[in-house]
Amino acid sequence: MDPFTTLTAVAAPLDIAKIDTGMIVPGRFQRIRRRPPEITYADVFLHDLRFDEEERLRPDFVLNQPAYRGARILVAGPDFGCGSSRESAAYSVLDYGVRALIGASFGDVFAGNCMQSGIVPVVLPQDAVESLLRQLRQAPGATVTVDLAAQLVTAPDGARYSFDIDVTRKERLLKGLDDVGVTLEQLSRIEAFEAAYAARMPWRAPRM
């Protein structure tokens, strides 16, 4: 995955509480592959909020408004990503182009899946989130900065808010490492062990 260091981008206010993973990716889209040619997780991200029953964009929904299209940061209502543990919810956030989420709380499993995919879920006090939401509504297209190294969010008005994040998760995000990437950091040691093991017990080495 791509490393996350500092992101300054248009932020969209998604002031809806308890958007669960079934709203992020509706159940009928669970069988799609990650990146097929005909439909992607980006297409189904918040599908039933973005589209009406005739598959037409809802013009009043925030992500369909010109100023917020292409937003890479979402400021969400409380408990964003609650509900089931479906990994596709995190995939759709990332594939839509969002690299950072800001809110007062997130579903625990969803937040873990996000970090595993390279998305930073930033937890701030509710009053800070409300201030960000208000500023983004008042100035559509305004930018927010998320500095992971410094663990700071900078609002459009210049206010700065610190946030906490697990030190191991932070290090992986900064380096762009998921679980596979962490394992591959030890590739030379793994290969050395396998070679020594095969030398000691050649009869147990896999035959090509």
pLDDT, position 43: 92
Give the CATH class of 6-176.
alpha beta
Instruction: For the chain, list residues with pLDDT below 50.
Output: none
- pLDDT at position 7, please? 98
Written as six digits, the tokens of 96 are 């839509």
What sign does the CA torsion over 182, 153, 156, 48 have?
A: positive
Contacts of 6 (CB under 8 A, 6+ apart): 145, 146, 147, 148, 149
pLDDT at 194: 72
pLDDT at residue 153, as a whole number: 98
Question: Please, are residues 45 and 51 in contact by the beta-carbon 8 Å criterion?
Answer: no
Which parts of the chain are beta strand (E)?
6-14, 73-76, 100-103, 120-123, 143-147, 152-154, 160-162
**CA-CA distance, 3 to 179, in Å (whole number)?**
14
Exposure of 175 in the CB half-sphere (CA atoms within 13 A)? 14
The answer to whether the pTM exceeds 0.95 is no
pLDDT of 133: 98
Query: pLDDT tens-digit profile of 44-56?
Result: 999 999 999 999 9
